[in-house]
Amino acid sequence: MSSHHQTGKKGFIWGAVFVVFLLSLPLPGESRENALPAAFRFTSPDVSLLNKVMPGDFQAPELEPVAEYGAFFGLKITLKIQGGWNTFGGGDIKTGIGGMYDNGVDYISAMGVPILSNARESNKGGLEVGGDLIYAITPRFGIGVGMAGVSAWNESHFLFDQDPWGPGSFQVRPRVKVRALRAGLFYSLPFAGILALSVRGGPAFYSAKYSCYIGSSIGFIRDGLIHTSYAQEASSKKWGFEGGLGLELTPNPFVAIFIEVQGRSAKIGDFEGDETATFFEGGQNRQSADSGPVYHVDTAGHPQLDIVLSDEGIPGSARKATLNFSGFSYLAGLKFRF
């Protein structure tokens, strides 16, 4: 082994001995006990002192309480937005439109033509959207006003074959639109932390409008396309009553998610409007028009809606048509508190 290697080995050994000697010396101004890591410096008197300062039932400081249900930013106003499905009875408007379709199908079927399809749909439900502005008298009780719109439509169609003219069709396309302006009382009952039951009720003013298009096309012949159509459009306004029961989920005091079932009591009558009829006669299409109140007329076949001029005789079986808007709405939406 070379002398240079021996010298390096001796230097390493003496260096290690010097480091061990330094580590074995006590730190200046501290006892051996104080030289231990801080995590091990608690003696029995220290523990006794801690027990006096922090008794056995010591609890961490409580956090600030969350604001209660119904907290507002200052305006005490709640904006309620909702949408869903609306169902209603229909009344004379429903039975009259359905009767006009049935009369047309019976008339065409009596010709002995082959029937391809017959799809009869009932018009007694549609989409609803709306909203309310509620002023909170207390965090749970408020008064408010709101608006809602309902639109319901369905098409019934009858297809048949009439050789040699080809396929023919008969369609009925009704549509009902109702707008509601309402006022009411609102109350919420919190339970189970973030849940609440809500109830509401009050009067509503309804503006209703219905339209119905009836069309029949037979096919191409020498005189052209045989097409017959009949259209009605009428409107009316009436008062009614609404009430609802809902379940709210409140993830924070200023926002709530809810589902709600609403019930209505409303019968809207005294409809007035216009009707036009297009018919094929003498090799050409002709048209007629009438205006006046809408009547529900019981005919020999099925009931129908008819607009009767004031100077015309009203059939004995006729009565003014009524839209039965009583029914239920199944809604979901959001509440925002300001």
* Domain 77-337 top-level CATH class: mainly beta
Six token digits for residue 189: 């009952």
Cβ(149)–Cβ(130) under 8 Å? Answer: yes
Six token digits for residue 308: 């009767």
**pTM score, whole prediction:** 0.74
Cα–Cα distance for residue pair 209/236, rounded to 1 Å: 7
Cα–Cα distance for residue pair 161/177, rounded to 1 Å: 35
Domain assignments of the chain as residue spans, ordered by start? 3-53, 77-337
CA 171 distance to own-chain centroid? 30
Higher pLDDT, 26 or 324: 324
Res. 18: pLDDT tops 60: no
Res. 224: pLDDT tops 60: no
Q: Which residues pair with 170 in a beta bridge?
A: 158, 216
CA 213 distance to own-chain centroid? 29
Number of neighbours of residue 210 by Cβ within 10 angstroms:
27
Q: How confident is the model at residue 168 (pLDDT cuts 50, 70, 90)?
A: confident
Alpha helical stretches, state H, the chain:
3-24, 44-53, 91-109
